[in-house]
Structure 1
Amino acid sequence: TDAGDIAGRLDAVAWMLADTGLRHVIREDLAAAPDIARALSRVTLGRGGPRDLAAIRDGLEAATRIAGRIGSGDHPPVVAAAAGVLATAPQGLAEALANALADDLPHLRRDGGFVRDGHHDDLDEARKLRDESRRVIAGLQADYAAETDIRALKIKHNNVLGYFVEVNAAHGERLMKPPLNARFIHRQTMANAVRFTTTALADLEAKIAGAGERALAIELAVFDELAAAVEQAAATLRAIADALAILDVAAASAVLAEAEDYCRPVVEESLAFSIEGGRHPVVEQALRHESQSFVANDCALGPDEAGDAGHIWLVTGPNMAGKSTFLRQNALIAIMAQIGCYVPARAARIGIVDRLFSRVGAADDLARGRSTFMVEMVETAAILNQAGPRSLVILDEIGRGTATFDGLSIAWAAIEHLHEVNRSRALFATHYHELTALSERLARLRNVTVRVKEWQGDVIFLHEIAAGAADRSYGIQVAKLAGLPASVVERARAVLAQLEETDRKSPVNTLIDDLPLFSAARTAGPTEAVADPVAAMLETIRPDDLSPREALEALYRLKAALREKRGD
């Protein structure tokens, strides 16, 4: 709701929109940047894995590239600030992560194998023993055979002795004599062979036995060191993640604005609301897939000159003509403008909307004992109790869930309350055509309708919003389009014709003259005061100057005047 902040974001989108080439390469770099904030939160909570560290590494590398591409030229403040943050990316941390992490990473750190070969000497040795133990044993065997000149010397293994050196009996006696007995330690004599061990072989056996566990322990220690470095730089990493997000949103908004012909809205500290050629961003896309075009419409809810409140548009028209689409597209345009996006319109000028209230659709909450109509009334109550002059309100078919005159009465009173108490900018769609007469009494209420054309008994929806009021809703034509049986459609036409003959609208048309404006509201203009004898008597009484007897007599006079007023 800060016009300055919104303008700053719009400046960033405009900058991205102006330089297509730079925007393209920045988006490529952004696509290579994982979610730093998510990875950081997992690491700081002790739930991170090797891929989280890699995400931070890749994010830092992307941040450095983007900062270099943007440079230090004359950029919008939002872009310059984001680039400045990206330039602070800790290069030491990025290099440490790049040097330590392997190319192919497991999901969990307990699986191991995530530290790059050559990064840690002890880890490389442990891996070598774990993965290449046979080759290591064969190499040691060749060394011992050359040293003793016994070609038949073998290194074997069993579950009792572990690894041992085995030679035949004739060679065994030579190994038990100096100087070879200093290296080869006798373990076991058999009928045809003698078995020895060496200090090196015993150490190698111990290393091989614990190589896997030791390799994993070393990798986990490396992970802890890297995680500690990440946590130490957490504040900087969060700022970098935010800066990347700002640029990402600006670039994506620019792509959308260019592709869909969106305009830059003017967002200001006023009550303005003027949309020229507004479109619904989602419905427009759906129609395009069906090779149809969206019909754009204007909307002007801002106050008149020197006005202190916006207008209410009472939108009437047939079912399926586009009333709900019109309501929602203007609410979406307001939201898009205030998040700093370009909007689907030819031009837009919007005074800051502090809150947006929406009462559309039909839903129930049966588990809590709320019918469809009750849900509708609860949502309407929230709007009428909370909306203010800076709010934007869209109301679609208030009162449709109950009897006709009940619903009409509620909608009538709701419009008066919006006009006199809430004083909000509002769009109010209804099928109660009787409400259009209120525009004669409510200064800021405007009647608009969705245009249609009848052709040979069918209705053609033009989807255009124009000043005026609809005289009917064409519900039977819509029912026919929906596929109701022909007999039902014809019977409905006959019933409608009979009801129209009774001129049901006449009592309501005269009611507009009989009912005063909303009594609890501020009047739109000066009105004649109706003489009230009771009120006049109360104005003349001074309670502090009355004796008890005079006060009692005054009370009797007031009661008598009240009875006379009521005709008792």
Structure 2
Amino acid sequence: MMAGYTPMIQQYLSVKADYMDAFLFFRLGDFYEMFFEDAIKASKELEITLTSREGGSEDRIPMCGIPYHSAPQYIEQLIERGYKVAICEQTEDPKQAKGVVRREVVQLITPGTMMEGKGLHEKENNYIASITDFDDGTFGFAYSDLSTGETKVTMFSSGFDEVLNEVSLLGAKEMVIPSTFKEEWQQRMKERSIMAFSFEDDNTGKSEYHHLLEDINQDKFCETISRLFNYLYRTQKRSLDHLQKVSTYQTHHYMKIDYFSKRNLELTETIRSKGKKGSLLWLLDETQTAMGGRLLKQWVDRPLVNEQEIIDRQSLVETLITAYFEREELREKLKEVYDLERLAGRVAFGNVNARDLIQLKRSLMQIPYIKDLLTKLSSEEAMTLSDRLDTCGEIVDLLDSAVIENPPLSIKDGNIIKDGYHTELDQFRDATRNGKTWIAQLEKQEREKTGIKSLKIGYNRVFGYYIEVTKANLHLLRDGQYERKQTLTNAERFITPDLKEKEALILQAEEKSIELEYELFTTLREHVKEFIPRLQALAKSISELDVLQCFATVSEARHYVKPTFSKERKMVIKDGRHPVVEKVMNAQEYVPNDCFMDVDREMFLITGPNMSGKSTYMRQIALTAILAQIGCYVPASEADLPIFDQVFTRIGAADDLISGQSTFMVEMLEAKNAIVHATQNSLILFDEIGRGTSTYDGMALAQAMIEYIHNRIGAKTLFSTHYHELTVLEESLLKLKNIHVSAIEQNGKVVFLHKIKEGAADKSYGIHVAELAELPEELISRANEILTSFEQKESVHISSPTNKEPQKQVDSDAQLSFFDEPMTVKEKTSNFKEKHVLDKVKSLDILDMTPMQALNTLYELHKKLRAN
């Protein structure tokens, strides 16, 4: 196939064969060119002109290209859309090449390996992850942020759903998997917005990174992380000295918040806008550094379950709250600290510039001041953190002596290194400066000698230095005074032997000076690389300090209180508020509410009108628990909380169109996830379970779930509903209590008080809410008529405003009433008045069934009886 193409196109096709899933940026002079399908696709994605060229075959081949200096912006566009880009550079001097210049791919840029650019958000990690499925059904899961060097690994033994949840929570941009990985699993990850998949079958440990696995002593962990490392080393083709030692983690060491619950609680982004604004992270983020912003998100995603670790965070938050002036000064110093984590990555990658190093120096110059401020706080926690801050004084001294304060962006054009840093460089500079002084003096002398005031000495790269005289003044020159070099429209350019001699000295000195400066800079960069582990340790400490001052700042500004933790499974929240809603309301008064639960009050059944605040109340309980367990203060006047191992929510309704699941199916799957995995130490929030099906189906499922959670799990549970029939369960389920959100009617209008009170609500006010939504008056009036009819008649039919024949009436006595009284299954059968019905029920072996099985059996019988 290649025989018909030119040698250069053959070379292109040979390289492209190894990168079929990527755009190949093929370097030709000052351009990156793309050919064939890459060119067609890139021209559409990047909106650049598609052309063609002779390739040696009979037909012209498609081609498009971009200037090499503009490549970063085009690469970012492709990466943001989930593509990969292979950078193929000339690796041979064209002057020395025999035939086609040798070219090789020097880096593969993918969504998970971005090191710089607008696509790399400063307060978000850019994770790449790998999964290894083992024959025994377990899964190894590893992830790394190449821009910071963070790398972690864990194992899962409960099936792929557990892995999928971790993938979703992490927000990885790219997944590295074996080629045998199931298509079904890949599809499910695509549904969770994984941007790119890459295949790596080599999971054997290599010497290049063996030192990073020193603390890993399990073969499965090593195989899992080796798959990821092999992919990174193979595709990046350069030093990855900034990769940190691999650490293991266990998800049960943190509060588990599944993907659905994280979304429903809007922890890091809102459901509607998919943006940060309006989320808990948005509320909390008063961090001053990019590193602190990333760590804050990690803490929100993974609240602690170890009480002592929580208390350790609380202690420094408390200290910072009481030291207002020191905290404000600390915030100002933190603003001056550069992103040390990502800087270390760029140093290792070799793409750091002189401005980055000046930023590093200025950042490190803040550390002594920060250490001094922590010492002034006079607390044990502050002193411990101060001791961990490494000032890295050697780097500061080195950079201060070597690099000028305002260097250029390019590292190849000189003017980076300070005078006095290197003797030979100073000599070259002196020669250059003296030569230019000589030329300036020569220009002055020649003007005086010739009497031509407009005479000037200029320079260009083609002719070097020259003397330029306008044609109007040529008559003032003596014959043979200068050697003619170039004729212009309005002037003549000349040279002299002395000028050419001085030119050689100047240009030689300049060229050598620039070359030497580049060598000195790369040596300096390599020296800074030796400090990467110390810089990363410093970055970790600064990040923690930044997040804790952030907690203190938010807690003081919003009047939060320090929570305590109950060992008796008691939850006391006085004057609790929803932190985000409270902030959004601004000057409006937020109505606080209490929550008291203990071993005798494990479950709340919440009733009340729509729009009254049931969902807000439920969410604020969960957010209060999460805030407490990340070490922050909480929005209340008093809070004594259990430490929850998991939080589950089923709030809101939305179809999952990608996977083809209805609202009701999504609801059932989320409910199942909670019921299957919750423990006695979990928190469950269920909002309006059963709305997506018929009334009887919905009530049956809701009651069965309540009974199951109450009798089998014992988790702290808030269950809101419009099925008022369920409120009688308080009489039979000892740990269930009815509460409601109060509302009153004034002049026929409903007024929501947003206040939680004991007991069940007396009505739902649904029509009032419809009226507030400004539905047509005729419709509202008709709804009130129908409601009155329903409330007054024991036997009802669907009434109609037309003269059509009414539908068949349903005898209410013949209906199964599961909810009128909190009776046992045996007692419920006595509700059937007709003997043949009673006999059928008695013949069923249901007395030993679970509540769900019994309800399903009775409901199936109920449908058959009504059909007859």
Distance 1:216 1:302, change over 3 A: farther
Secondary structure, counterpart of 2:680 in structure 1: coil
Instruction: Compare 1-10 and 242-251 and name the one that shifted more.
Output: 242-251
Tell me, yes or no, if the aligned pair for 2:684 and 2:718 is still in contact at 8 Å: yes
What amino acid sits opposite 1:224 in the alignment? Answer: T
The equivalent residue for 1:208 is: 507
Once the two structures are superposed, the pairs formed by residues 134-533 of structure 1 within 5 Å of their partners are 134-139=436-441, 197=497, 202=501, 204-205=503-504, 207-208=506-507, 211=510, 214-288=512-586, 291-304=587-600, 311-502=602-793, 507-510=817-820, 512-515=822-825
Deviation (angstroms), 1:461: 0.7
Deviation (angstroms), 1:206: 5.4
Secondary structure, counterpart of 1:274 in structure 2: strand
1:160 and 1:470 mapped to 2: Cα distance? 90
The equivalent residue for 2:309 is: 5
The equivalent residue for 1:83 is: 386
Distance 1:434 1:218, change over 3 A: farther
Distance 1:345 1:160, change over 3 A: closer
Secondary structure, counterpart of 1:315 in structure 2: strand
The equivalent residue for 1:528 is: none
Instruction: Compare 120-129 and 471-480 and name the one that shifted more.
Output: 120-129
Distance 1:4 1:195, change over 3 A: closer
- Structure 1 length as normaliser, TM-score? 0.76
- Identify which of 298, 322, 327 aligns with 1:23: 327
The equivalent residue for 1:67 is: 371
Deviation (angstroms), 1:16: 0.6
- Structure 1 residue runs of 5 or longer lacking an equivalent are 173-185, 189-193, 305-309, 518-530, 536-568
Distance 1:441 1:487, change over 3 A: same
Once the two structures are superposed, the pairs formed by residues 27-46 of structure 1 within 5 Å of their partners are 27-46=331-350
**More relative contact order, 1 or 2 (CA 8 Å, 6+ apart):** 1
Distance 1:269 1:137, change over 3 A: farther
Per-residue CA deviations over 1:31-70 (Å, capped at 9, x if unaligned) read 2112211222222233333343233222211112110222
Tell me, yes or no, if the aligned pair for 1:8 and 1:76 is still in contact at 8 Å: no
Distance 1:464 1:162, change over 3 A: closer
Q: Does 1:104 align with 2:412?
A: no
Deviation (angstroms), 1:410: 1.4
Per-residue CA deviations over 1:444-497 (Å, capped at 9, x if unaligned) read 111110011111211111111111011321110011001111011111111111
The equivalent residue for 1:540 is: none
Secondary structure, counterpart of 1:408 in structure 2: helix
Distance 1:134 1:315, change over 3 A: same
Aligned residues: 489
Per-residue CA deviations over 1:392-412 (Å, capped at 9, x if unaligned) read 111111111122221111111
2:318 and 2:406 mapped to 1: Cα distance? 40
2:409 and 2:450 mapped to 1: Cα distance? 49
Tell me, yes or no, if the aligned pair for 1:3 and 1:269 is still in contact at 8 Å: no
Instruction: State the superposition RMSD in angstroms.
Output: 3.9
2:759 and 2:461 mapped to 1: Cα distance? 98
Instruction: Compare 384-393 and 96-105 and name the one that shifted more.
Output: 96-105
Tell me, yes or no, if the aligned pair for 1:361 and 1:396 is still in contact at 8 Å: yes
Tell me, yes or no, if the aligned pair for 1:315 and 1:447 is still in contact at 8 Å: yes
Per-residue CA deviations over 1:230-289 (Å, capped at 9, x if unaligned) read 32112221221122122222222222222211100113555232211111111111222x
2:776 and 2:783 mapped to 1: Cα distance? 11
Q: State, as a whole percentage, how many aligned pairs show the same letter.
A: 35
Secondary structure, counterpart of 2:753 in structure 1: strand
The equivalent residue for 2:395 is: 93
What amino acid sits opposite 2:768 in the alignment? Answer: Q
Tell me, yes or no, if the aligned pair for 1:357 and 1:394 is still in contact at 8 Å: yes
Tell me, yes or no, if the aligned pair for 1:34 and 1:56 is still in contact at 8 Å: yes
Distance 1:110 1:170, change over 3 A: closer
Tell me, yes or no, if the aligned pair for 1:82 and 1:246 is still in contact at 8 Å: no
Per-residue CA deviations over 1:417-464 (Å, capped at 9, x if unaligned) read 211222211111111111111121212111110011111211111111
1:218 and 1:485 mapped to 2: Cα distance? 82
Larger radius of gyration: 1
- Structure 2 length as normaliser, TM-score? 0.51
Distance 1:271 1:124, change over 3 A: farther
Tell me, yes or no, if the aligned pair for 2:555 and 2:561 is still in contact at 8 Å: yes
1:272 and 1:81 mapped to 2: Cα distance? 33
Is the helix fraction higher in 1 or 2? 1
